[in-house]
Amino acid sequence: MKHTLQQVFHSGKFVTGFSIFVAILLIVIIYPLIITDPPLRIIGQGTFFEPGIYVNVYDSISSPHYTLNLDDAAAKRIASKLGEDDRIAIKDWLVAVGIPESEIDTTDTAKLLDQWVNNYDPATRISGMTNATRNYYIRLNNSLKGLLSTDGVSIAVANPETAVLEETSTIVQSDYVNVNQVANVRVLPLGTDNFGRDVLTELVEATRVSLQIGFVAGVIATLIGLTLGLLSGYVGGFVDDIIMFITNLFTVIPSFVLLILISFSIGQDRRGPVTIAIVIGFTSWVWTTRAVRSQVISLRNRDHVNLSKLSGHSLVHIIVTDIFPYIASYVVMALILQISSGILVEAGLSILGLGPRTTDVPTLGLMMNWAMIYQAHILGKWWAYFPVIVTIALIAFSMNLMNTGLDQVFNPALRD
Amino acid sequence: MSNVMLEVRELTTKYITRFRENIYAVDHVSLKVEEGKSLGIAGESGCGKSTLALSLMGYYFPPLHYTSGEIIIDGHNISGMNPDDVRRSILGTEIAYIPQAAMNALNPTQKIINFIEDVIEAHNPVATKKEIFDIAKGLFEALGLPVDVLQKYPVELSGGMKQRTVIAISVILSPQVLIADEPSSALDVTSQKMVIKMLRNLMDKGYIKAMIFITHELPLLYNVTDDIMVMYAGQIVEKASSKDAVFDPLHPYSKGLMGSIIVPESGLRNVKLTAIPGVPPNLKKPPSGCRFAARCKYVRPECKTLSIPLREVAGGRTYRCILSEEELRELYAWEARKKNE
Amino acid sequence: MSSEKKLCLSGSGVTKVFGFGRNTTLAVDHVDFNFYEGEIISIVGESGSGKTTLAKMLLGLINPTEGEIYFQGEKRDISTHRKKKEYWKSIQAIFQDPFSSYNIFNKIDTVLLDCIRMRGGGKLPYEQKVEMMTEACSFVNLKFEELTNKYPFELSGGQQQRLMIARIFLLKPKILLADEPTSMIDACSRATILDMLMQLRDEIGMTPIFITHDIGLAYYVSDSVYIMERGKFVESGSADDVILHPKEPYTRRLISDVPKIYEEWDLSTV
């Protein structure tokens, strides 16, 4: 036993898969201890906030201000405001008024603005220019004027008695706050979803729930499969015929269709994650049964089983001590695959809207479903679905790696 | 002086295990097979018989590694050659190999004639199908195999017929030397006899010039080969003519082996068999001195320390023991007297 | 003389058919036999002759399709687990492949303790059990102290087969079915195994039945020989009669196909 475990942990594939899986598990366990927010609390008003660090503006004003004289601050500010389209429009104007194209560099913000200020005149009429375009240039010029100003911003508060705005402080362009001193900063590494919920927190919770669903489904499927397979293979005869009849019946009915029908008939209200897990478990035991049965049939004619019979052992004793240990490694592998397929099946069901009801807990499949319904993929809000896909892929990948690794240890013919 | 078809000088080969341990499965083995002669190799399982067979063919694929010594097949020295080159240029044309499970190596989706086409076309790309069929037909007829086998699939043939077919295919390029490693052990006695008859036929009709036959079944070896070489723990312990090896063995290990022969012949019922206690040594750490010392009835203190060379005695026999021929014979005679009392 | 001999196992019309409908195979075809106590019996047949099926029926591992098996002159009744257990106290087996005869997850102690339990010694103090196991192991030249807490696969094939004999030593059955007990082990260990089986026979007075394809072995060990071909006994009688003076063509062929060393081996007959 110890030796086998040693061998298992010498297999590179298994160790890689195991490490990924343990890492996912650790994140799922540790993350909620650090971020204690309820995973489904709606924190953002509006949908799909981009990933980033959110600093409270109000708190920034009242935080201590520091003056930093940085040369490129103004340029950066302008650069962040002046989009690529605007730069090309400016270039077009400049070319139209007769500046040689070789002298214009759209990446050099300072020079570009300089040329703009010197050459722009709203009165100039350029032939072929529509009124709309002209107005655009006027708007652009006004906004650039604001950018180029070196004045600060006044903060004024309305006096409750006189209703007159009274200036309380001025913020100049070289004022900085230390983020650490701002009372409210929220990091949203994966932004928010369509409901304004923190995607990362939600994702961690969804992973936990999905793993639970996979585990429950896998254990149920494996237990049913193992019991039926052992009975069918070892007892044989009439019992075998009946079990194989049921198994064949379940084989020819596509299990996903069955799953959809059952999920649908249970109804939205009673569809919790556990229910879904049980439903998945009860529809995916078929191939475990068949595999276990064939293994048991080849084992039951081995001499050690005959010898055990001759030693007067009972049926249960023989199944438990003489048959089961031989297929245990196989069953572990089947369990791993069942768990991984349970997670995938849940995702599939949920995308179709047949997963657990949506108000209590997230699952990986539900997150995909929400992202899909709110058209995250069309709007380019990748953070709402891409991390979910990566998580599903990582879980399935790690489990399949573990399975292949185990297979190579237990089946020497596959070793390279 | 007849031609030497296969000569091996001080060949040593080793297995390297996963834990980087060296196991010298063939340890300074020298042998010579002359034209028209056959050599049998006997010994318990794990004494290096099959490894020797692979080593003779230059079949050095990990974990088996060549260490030292020379292998000369019909004048070609193949020691140290790249195993892939050996496979391309030597196997089939110079030396042929038949393992125990050879019959299971046939691809079930191909007819027998297809295998023969593959083999011949690999060495003679211009041969037409008709020519190949004629060659195959001639060979099968000469060997007493039904010609219609050529058009059959392997599954349509019995185990014995498959094995004989494989042997026929392996000699189609007329190799000089045939190495047969337990070619009949998986077969029933009747098929076994047919395989043996066929091997003898190959020798008599000159399809092969020399044969090495490996088995642990001594009555079989006695009936097939001219000489018998007994191996123990990777070393040769005795080499003699078949008759001498079976009826007058010198080395205590050979004596033990020969004493355990059971044949259904009159007078052999309830004869006390000799048993050799214990198991062969672990070749990861071979014992110093005589490797058989731990199991030998006649062991002396110096056996465990002195390294024992092969002795050559009259009649071209060799054996590896500290005791002289006379001393051994005396011991055996005394033993026999004691048993009769 | 024959009146003194006690029947230990006999059968009439014992038949086993595998499969249903059109795909039936007649593995054992109406065989009759009388095995007497104290005799050494060999059933010789090539692979596919039905000898292993017959052995399993004798052991009660599978039920005959037709015919009756009599144990000590009385009709054998193994209809319940309890009765089977009782029967198996009298009849035991050694199988061909020692490597597949052991449960690789059980230690050697488990194998031997099972035997003591079966003989009704389950409640004995542990020291006494150890004593019994030590005795059994020393009978087959193994040292229990070296074996305890080891797994069967740590032993060589010969040692494993000897441990099987130690098991029989503890069980002391009346009949021992040895199904090719030496075919998977080396020739020189074979002598040891056969010696021990014979010694055990003298020690506990059991009746050994050898199931084998090796006619040399059958001749060497047995008193009566049964030659089996395609589910039927084609020839039976004392070993000398059957092997040295075979009457049936099948027996003759079988014997002529075995390589000889004292007589000329005639290769022309195939």
Q: What is the pLDDT of residue A412?
A: 63
- Does residue C1 form part of some domain? no
Is the CB of residue B198 less than 8 Å from the CB of residue B167?
yes
Place of tokens 């297979």: A407
Predicted confidence band at A275 (pLDDT cuts at 50, 70, 90)? confident
- The mean pLDDT value for A222-244 works out to 92
Average pLDDT, chain C: 88
- Does residue C193 form part of some domain? yes
More confidently predicted of C235 and A271: C235
Q: What is the pLDDT of residues B9-61, one digit of tens each?
A: 999 999 988 788 888 989 899 999 999 899 999 988 888 888 999 888 888 88
Which value does ipTM take for this structure? 0.88
Q: What is the pLDDT of residue A393?
A: 94
Name chain C contacts of B274, Cβ cutoff 8 Å.
188, 191
Name chain B contacts of C187, Cβ cutoff 8 Å.
44, 216-218, 257, 260-261
Chains that touch C (3 or more CB pairs under 8 A): A, B
- Measured CA to CA in angstroms, residue A7 lies from A405, C155, C256 at distances of 10, 21, 51
Predicted confidence band at C207 (pLDDT cuts at 50, 70, 90)? very high
Q: In chain C, which residue's Cα lies nearest the Cα of A314?
A: C81
Task: Please list, in sequence order, all residues whose beta carbon lies within 8 angstroms of the beta carbon of residue B194, skipping any fewer than 6 positions away.
Answer: B160, B164, C270
Name chain C contacts of B197, Cβ cutoff 8 Å.
267, 270
* Interface contact flag, A306 C84, Cβ < 8 Å: no
Is-cis flag, bond preceding C64, omega within 30?
no
- Does residue C93 form part of some domain? yes
CA of A240, closest CA in chain C: separation in Å? 15
Q: What is the pLDDT of residue B57?
A: 85
Q: What angle do the packed helices B159-170 and B189-204 form, to 10 degrees?
A: 20
Which residues are B231's β-sheet partners?
B236
The CATH number covering residue C96 comes to 3.40.50.300
- Who among C213, C239, C257 is closest to B193 (CB)? C257
Q: Which CATH architecture does the domain made up of A2-45+193-414 adopt?
A: Orthogonal Bundle (1.10)
Give CA–CA dist B121/B113, Å, rounded.
12
**A306–C contact, CB cutoff 8 A:** yes
- Does residue C2 form part of some domain? no
Average pLDDT, chain A: 86
Q: What is the pLDDT of residue A148?
A: 67
**B219–C contact, CB cutoff 8 A:** yes
**Domains in chain C, number:** 1
Size of interface B-C (CB pairs under 8 A): 116
Closest Cα partner for C37 from C13, C11, C73, C63?
A: C73
**C83–A contact, CB cutoff 8 A:** no
Q: In chain B, which residue's Cα lies nearest the Cα of C245?
A: B266
Domain ranges of chain A: 2-45+193-414, 56-68+151-188, 73-148
Provide the domain limits for residue C69: 7-269
- Per-residue tokens: A3: 């030796």
Burial class (CB in 10 A: 0-12, 13-18, 19+), A189: middle
pTM value is 0.77
- Does residue C67 form part of some domain? yes
Q: What is the pLDDT of residue C2?
A: 46
- Per-residue tokens: B264: 């259904």
Per DSSP, the three-state class of C140 is coil
Q: What is the DSSP letter of A45?
A: S
Is the CB of residue B58 less than 8 Å from the CB of residue B90?
yes
**B220–C contact, CB cutoff 8 A:** yes
Predicted confidence band at B190 (pLDDT cuts at 50, 70, 90)? confident
Q: What is the pLDDT of residues B38-52, one digit of tens each?
A: 999 998 888 888 899
DSSP H or E stretch at residue A155: strand A153-158
- The mean pLDDT value for A284-313 works out to 91
Q: What is the pLDDT of residues A102-149, one digit of tens each?
A: 888 877 777 887 888 888 887 777 777 888 888 888 888 887 776 666
Predicted confidence band at A6 (pLDDT cuts at 50, 70, 90)? confident
Chains that touch A (3 or more CB pairs under 8 A): C
Predicted confidence band at A93 (pLDDT cuts at 50, 70, 90)? confident
- Does residue C29 form part of some domain? yes
Task: Please list, in sequence order, all residues whose beta carbon lies within 8 angstroms of the beta carbon of residue C128, skipping any fewer than 6 positions away.
Answer: C121
Parallel, antiparallel or unpaired: strands C25-36 and C7-18: antiparallel
**A103–C contact, CB cutoff 8 A:** no
Q: What is the pLDDT of residue C1?
A: 41
- The mean pLDDT value for A45-57 works out to 90
